[in-house]
Structure formats: structure tokens, C-alpha cells
């Protein structure tokens, strides 16, 4: 779980692009990308809403994804993976289980495995958020499966 918290702290901080000698995305034992760089390529998954999801990194214990929506996402349920959502840009109303809150940049949402959740953009700006999933072996489409009865 500490890897989830460390990744959330990095994502909430904006992951400024800085590699060796100031080269964006340069590798030297690691890589740091801005959220905008992470979503600059083709998405790994497109959902109604419209929602686009990009895979940033997938390790043994943790999958890191970025998602952007101007509409709504859910209700969804990830049966096998616990999720952490970190809002990076925009404002949203987020529900995890029975808890519903208005959130802005920097908000951190806990979604236990098997819990229904949803996110709805509020305002004119699309919502950009990071999805941290553990374990990482759950396919992306399964992480964002419609909840039963929806």
C-alpha cells in the first residue's frame, strides 16, 4: 500500500517533466512525465462520456492510468483491484460506495475492490485524473467495468 501512497503523492504533485539535463522524459534510472505528456498519445481505452484512458505504467503491484472526461464515468466496479483516484485538473462530483463529495485538484479518493464508484465532471473544464490500481494484473477494461444493475 505504501507504493500506492507514493504514486499518489507524485501524481498529486503534477509530475513535472524533468529528466537529466532538463530533457523532458529523459531516462536515467527512471522517468518523470507531466500529466499532459502522459495523455499526449493515443488512448488505451475510450468509453462513453466521452472518456479517454491512457496507460502510464504497469508494474507488478501497481497500474497507473490517466483519464480525461468532460461528462460522467460510471457507475463502475472493479471486482479484483483496489483503486485510488487523484484529481489533477477540473472539478468533479465523485462517489465511492455510499460517500459522495465535490472534489477539485489534489483530491484523493479511495475505492476498495468490489465497491461501486462514479465520477461526474462539474463545470466547463474537463476532469483529468490519475487511476492507481492494485494489483496491476487486472486488465484495464475490467478496472472500468459497469456496476451490476447499471
Architecture of domain 35-146: Sandwich (2.60)
Residue 8 predicted with pLDDT over 90: no
Q: Name the pLDDT band for 10 (thresholds 50, 70, 90).
A: very low
Q: Which residues of 96-121 are buried (b: 16+ CB within 10 A; e: fewer)?
A: beeeeeebebebbbebeeebbbbbbb
Q: What is the pLDDT of residues 94-132, one digit of tens each?
A: 999 999 999 999 999 999 999 999 999 999 999 999 999
Domain ranges of the chain: 35-146
Measured in degrees and rounded to the nearest 5, phi and psi for residue 12 equal -65, -30
Please state the rounded mean pLDDT for residues 15-23.
Answer: 38
Cell 477539485 found at: 104
Question: Of 97, 77, 53, 55, whose CA–CA distance to 150 is shortest?
Answer: 77
Amino acid at each position: 500500500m505504501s507504493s500506492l501512497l507514493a504514486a499518489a503523492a507524485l501524481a498529486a504533485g503534477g509530475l513535472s517533466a524533468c529528466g537529466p539535463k532538463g530533457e523532458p522524459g529523459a531516462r536515467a534510472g527512471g522517468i518523470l512525465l507531466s500529466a499532459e505528456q502522459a495523455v499526449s498519445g493515443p488512448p488505451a481505452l475510450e468509453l462513453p462520456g466521452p472518456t479517454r484512458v491512457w496507460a502510464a505504467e504497469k508494474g507488478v503491484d501497481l497500474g497507473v492510468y490517466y483519464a480525461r472526461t468532460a461528462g460522467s464515468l460510471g457507475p463502475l466496479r472493479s471486482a479484483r483491484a483496489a483503486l485510488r483516484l487523484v484529481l489533477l485538473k477540473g472539478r468533479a462530483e465523485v462517489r465511492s460506495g455510499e460517500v459522495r463529495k465535490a472534489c477539485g485538484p489534489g483530491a484523493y479518493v479511495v475505492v476498495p475492490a468490489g465497491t461501486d464508484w462514479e465520477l461526474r465532471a462539474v463545470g466547463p473544464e474537463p476532469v483529468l485524473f490519475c487511476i492507481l490500481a492494485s494489483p496491476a494484473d487486472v486488465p484495464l477494461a475490467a478496472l472500468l467495468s459497469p456496476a451490476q444493475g447499471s
